[in-house]
A = this chain, B = another copy of it.
Amino acid sequence: MPLYALTLEYDGGPFVGWQRQENGLSVQQVLEEAAAKLNGGVVPASVAAGRTDAGVHAEGQVAQLGIDRELPPERLREALNFHTRPHPVAVVAAALAPAGWNARFSAIHRGYRYRILNRRARPALELGRVWHVQQRLDAAAMHDAAQRLLGRHDFSAFRAAACQAKSAMRTLDRLEVSRQGDEVVIVAEARSFLHHQIRNLAGTLLEVGQGKRGVEWPRRVLDGADRTRAGQTAPAEGLCFGFVRYAQEPDWV
């Protein structure tokens, strides 16, 4: 059975998250049920690079899907974009997966973006895509604080209680905070992240931006390895899964 790699864009708003759940529609279900139409009605299993939570968006999620049929990747892409309608899930690229490739375990780098709309007026155009914070944030201080978290650490202070990873050791390669007009944007990159890690980092950096905490505080929270000392978990809607990189990159079309 040939294995395909897919790059997915989706609006996380209407979904319970990437993963199939009893309580509502998931991106995985939409994708797999569309694929079943090309697989003689049999629903194939898919695996994603990141199991995004309810409300989290993706520009460049990557998933794998085995279909009992040889299809040119461009035809698979077109067919899935037809069958995933009208859901806000689109296959932007497809490829035959390289031998031994796995969408989740072969990923060597993941990039996310967290957007804060930092103005008095509530969002109209970007509703559901940003965290609305009215108090003026000091993005430079947030960036300064973020730089002290880079490198290999035990990120226990920033993981969700429900996080299933065996180890909380992660290497944070990039955590940049910048002001872009009315927005404060956080860009985070690492080989992999813990559950809620970026949203917990965003909620912690926020307190620095508000002036409630000094720029050295998030690092103290990190070193304390105690989740109860960190800031709030920032809301899902501000987060977007940007891209995944692989040592052996599929030949996307």
Which A residues fall within an 8 A CB radius of B? 9-11, 57, 59, 74, 77-78, 81, 85, 88-93, 119-125, 127, 129, 240
The reply to whether B125 and A57 form a contact with Cβ atoms under 8 Å apart is yes
CA separation between A81 and B123, bound complex, in Å? 10
Contact of A125 among B10, B77, B120, B122 (CB under 8 A): B10
Residues of B within 8 A of A57 (CB): 125
The reply to whether B78 and A124 form a contact with Cβ atoms under 8 Å apart is no
Residues of B within 8 A of A127 (CB): 11, 88
The reply to whether A125 and B59 form a contact with Cβ atoms under 8 Å apart is yes
The reply to whether A89 and B124 form a contact with Cβ atoms under 8 Å apart is yes
A247 to chain B, nearest CB (A): 25
A85 to chain B, nearest CB (A): 8
The reply to whether B9 and A121 form a contact with Cβ atoms under 8 Å apart is yes
CA separation between A9 and B121, bound complex, in Å? 9
Residues of B within 8 A of A10 (CB): 124-125
A-B contact pairs, 5 of them (CB 8 A): A9-B125, A11-B125, A77-B120, A78-B120, A125-B240
CA separation between A91 and B119, bound complex, in Å? 11
Residues of B within 8 A of A240 (CB): 125
The reply to whether B9 and A124 form a contact with Cβ atoms under 8 Å apart is yes
The reply to whether B88 and A121 form a contact with Cβ atoms under 8 Å apart is no
